[in-house]
Amino acid sequence: MPRPIVARIHPDAVRHNLQLVRQKTPDSRVWAVVKANAYGHGIERIYPALAEADGIALLDLDEAVRVRELGWKKPVLLLEGIFTPADVAIADEYGLTVAVHCTEQLDLLCAAQVKQPIPINLKMNSGMNRLGFRPDVFRAAWERARSSASIGEITLMSHFASADDGDVDWQVDRFDAATSEIPGPRSLANSAAVLWHPRTHRNWVRPGIVLYGGSPSGLSRHVADIPLRASMSLTSQIIGTQTLSLQETVGYGRIFAANEPMRIGVVACGYADGYPRHAPTGTPIAVDGTLTRVVGRVSMDMLTVDLTPCPKAHVGSQVELWGDQVKIDDVAQASGTIGYELMCALARRVPVEVH
Ligand SMILES: *Cc1c(COP(=O)(O)O)cnc(C)c1O
């Protein structure tokens, strides 16, 4: 029998969360962001839940081709655009929309012979200082794109540095000032801006993490009043128990010591499954539906939990690492990261079921 660990993917949750995005952005078209293999869920597994989206956005050409091969006829956006002339040919063949964030990408597109003009999202660096043309050269980039025979419709795009903590106006103002004379659809909003900044919604929105039920800020309390559903759960079982006497320690490094006699359970899940090694004592976890805490250091294939709140737990008891009861954001926060990273880091060795 394989180890009892299993990840469950819930396409219905993605469908539900997408509808919620729709309600929040009734006048916008929606790019469903499925980069990083749909935030670790597997594009193919959640694909049926995306039918109502207006487009699919991702980074890898391979993933874009996979989406086309699944039968997706609506737009597909490459969020980092193309890197080589061969990429332009693939974008042309599969009818992809490409982000254009630098002069080198414009050069590549302008030099290409294409069957059909390639639609682009021309990206402005409005303050993130990662990808994009600065506001003062944006108009010139747009003029060049507009006059190129190989470039089709031009959407004006930018990305926020801190939409999750309320600070978008300075970027929106820069973007609006530099584009006031430029026609075309606009696309600004990630998940945080979808939830919290209606001013940014414009023609297209680009939600990622909310489709999977995660909090854009990394803090579960920030979405506590929004009926999102978790689209990934990770469960396993207790495979052993120990009774510690006073001052006995558990696991590597002996970082947890019992300050009274206690029972602990050993769970078949470790960092090689994608559970964060940095999860400290106190990280939430559920055993047979009862919330308890991780104790001691997470090892490669196992971790240990406090069974004090669940005295009936035994070998074979069900454990939820994250899911409906234990928020992935709470596990992430305890471990110094965000739900995004835990979803993406789900290890290949974990069996996945789709429900
Ligand atoms: C990843 C990404 C998004 C989605 O971000 P979330 O915070 O997951 O909603 C939107 N736009 C761009 C350009 C991205 O790279």
Summarised one tens digit per residue, pLDDT across range 286-296 is 999 999 999 99
Q: What is the mean pLDDT of residues 165-193?
A: 96
State yes or no: 130 annotated in a binding site: yes
Q: Which residue has the higher pLDDT, 341 or 167?
A: 341
What is the pLDDT averaged over residues 328-338?
Answer: 98
Q: Would you place residue 2 in the very low, low, confident or very high pLDDT band (cuts 50, 70, 90)?
A: confident
- Domains (range + CATH), the chain: 11-221 (3.20.20.10), 232-354 (2.40.37.10)
Contact 277, 298 (CB under 8 A): yes
Q: Which amino acids are annotated catalytic? A: 35, 252
Tokens (6 digits) for 279: 């999860």
Ligand 1 pocket test target in 33, 60, 171 with most atoms within 8 Å of CB? 33
Residue 1 has pLDDT above 80, yes or no: no
Quote the CA–CA distance of 113 and 128 in Å, as a whole number. Answer: 33
Q: What is the mean pLDDT of the chain?
A: 97
> Alpha-carbon distance 205 to 163, whole Å?
13
Cβ–ligand 1 distance for 132 under 6 Å, the answer: no
Beta strand pairing call for 151-158 and 76-78: unpaired
Whole-number percent of the chain with pLDDT over 90: 98
pLDDT at 91: 98
User: Closest ligand 1 atom to the C-alpha of 207?
Assistant: 9
The answer to whether residues 107 and 82 touch, using CB atoms and an 8 Å cutoff, is no
pLDDT score for 296: 98
Whether 172 is in the pocket of ligand 1, judged by its Cβ within 6 Å, is: no
- CA 195 to ligand 1 center in whole angstroms: 13
List the structure tokens of 78: 């490459």
- CA nearest neighbour of 301 among 347, 341, 256: 347
Predicted confidence at residue 166, as pLDDT, reads: 80
Q: For 306-326, what is the mean pLDDT?
A: 98
State how far the Cα of 338 lies from the Cα of 22, in Å rounded to an integer: 24
Give the pTM.
0.96
The pLDDT of residue 181 is above 90: yes
What is the Å distance from ligand 1's center to 121 Cα? 14
pLDDT in tens, 131-160: 999 999 999 999 999 999 999 999 999 999
Q: What is the pLDDT of residue 340?
A: 97
The torsion angles phi and psi of 154, rounded to 5 degrees, stand at -110, 115
Residue 232 annotated as binding site: no
Residues comprising the chain, all counted: 355
Average pLDDT estimate for 104-112: 98
Output phi, psi for 321, to 5 deg.
Answer: -80, -45
Query: Checking phi first, is residue 129 left (phi over 0); if not, alpha (psi -120 to 50) or beta?
Result: left
Can you tell me which residue has the tokens 């590549």?
108
pLDDT digit string (tens) for 12-71?
A: 999 999 999 999 999 999 999 999 999 999 999 999 999 999 999 999 999 999 999 999
**Residue 103 banded pLDDT, cuts 50, 70, 90:** very high
Percent of the chain with pLDDT over 70: 100
Position 344: which residue type?
Answer: C
The reply to whether ligand 1 has any atom less than 6 angstroms from the CB of 33 is: yes
Distance (Å, whole) CA 74 – CA 204: 14
